[in-house]
Each structure stands twice: as C-alpha cells, then as structure tokens.
Amino acid sequence: MKAARTVQLEIPDDLEQAYEVMKELRPHVNYDDFTRLTVLAQAADGYRLVGRELSGKLIAVMGCRILHDLVHGSHLYIDDLVTTSEARSQGHGAELLRFAEGEARRLGLSGLRLCTGIENEDGKRFYEREGWALRAVAFKKKVSSH
C-alpha cells in the first residue's frame, strides 16, 4: 500500500481539490465563497492550506496562518482541519498537527492554537489525545448589516 504524504497546496490552483475535502467540515460554504474567502485570507494574513495526499487524491486538509496578539504572542492558528470520512481515524489529522507543530518551531513561534465547536466531542477528544489542552471558551456574536 502506498504511503500518504503531506503536501503544500497552492492558492488558487489547488482550491477545487481542497474544497472537495473542506466541504465535509464546512458544508454551509459553497465553492465560490470558499475560493473568495481563501484568497482573501491568504492576502490578508498568509492563510495557507496543507493537505495529506494518498495515491494522488487529497484526503485531509488543514488551513492555518500566523497570528500575533498580546495573550498568545506570535503563534500558528489552525482555522480548519478535516479528514474525509473514508480516511478518518487513520492518523492523517494527527500528521497535519505534527506538521503544524514543526512549522511553528521552524518559524520561532510561541505555540499553536485552534478552536472547535463546544458540541464537537469527537474533535475535543482527538485534540486532547494529541496533547492539546482546553484553555479557553470563545464567544461569538453576529452583527447584522441593517
């Protein structure tokens, strides 16, 4: 069996392939919005996509960027992490987290950070199993344009 490999995805060239995986995590986002928002995020703060590829097929995607704030210092923030349902629980998400940790070290960052939904019990168990600690509660408020 061929081994999976971690690959840097190019924006915008690889967005169609990345969207096929990402829509499992973000089903509410259509392809046009995914493309627009990914390109904007890359331009604004260097958002990048990294994937896991097996036999030429993308099976996992992670979106991340470097953030700077007074609480966390300069750190790698993981916005998105998803493995296709058929490739889940085979270590691909863990490999992407290890890649992110290596990038943070290589870039001299203070650490890594991510958020997940409070209802995402599987995700929380996964992150804890991978050595991540629950450290905060995030609040969110939508603002209408009217």
Q: Domains of the chain: which residue ranges?
A: 5-129
pLDDT surpassing 80 at residue 137:
yes
Residue 119 burial (CB count, 10 A) = 8
Closest CA to 103 of 132, 62, 69: 62
Look up residue 24 and give its two tokens.
């499992």
Residue 87 in contact with residue 59, Cβ under 8 Å? yes
Q: Which CATH class is domain 5-129?
A: alpha beta
- Give CA separation, 3 vs 22, 52, 73, in Å: 22, 10, 36
The percent helix, strand, coil of the chain (3-state, each to 5) is 35, 25, 40
Angle in degrees, CA 127, 99, 109, rounded to 5:
90
For 22-31, how does the pLDDT look when each residue is reduced to its tens digit (9 = 90+)? 999 999 999 9
pLDDT surpassing 80 at residue 130:
yes
pLDDT recorded at residue 92:
97
Query: What is the value of pTM for the model shown?
Result: 0.93
Residue 101 in contact with residue 107, Cβ under 8 Å? no
For 49-82, how does the pLDDT look when each residue is reduced to its tens digit (9 = 90+)? 999 999 999 999 999 999 999 999 999 999 999 9
Residue 118 in contact with residue 134, Cβ under 8 Å? no
Spatial strand order of the sheet with 48-54 comes to 5-9, 48-54, 57-69, 73-83, 112-114
First CA to last CA across the chain, in angstroms? 56
pLDDT recorded at residue 57:
96
Share of residues in the chain with pLDDT > 70 (%): 99
Sorting pLDDT into bands at 50, 70 and 90, what band is 2?
confident
Angle in degrees, CA 10, 66, 78, rounded to 5:
75
For 101-113, how does the pLDDT look when each residue is reduced to its tens digit (9 = 90+)? 999 999 999 999 9
pLDDT recorded at residue 1:
53
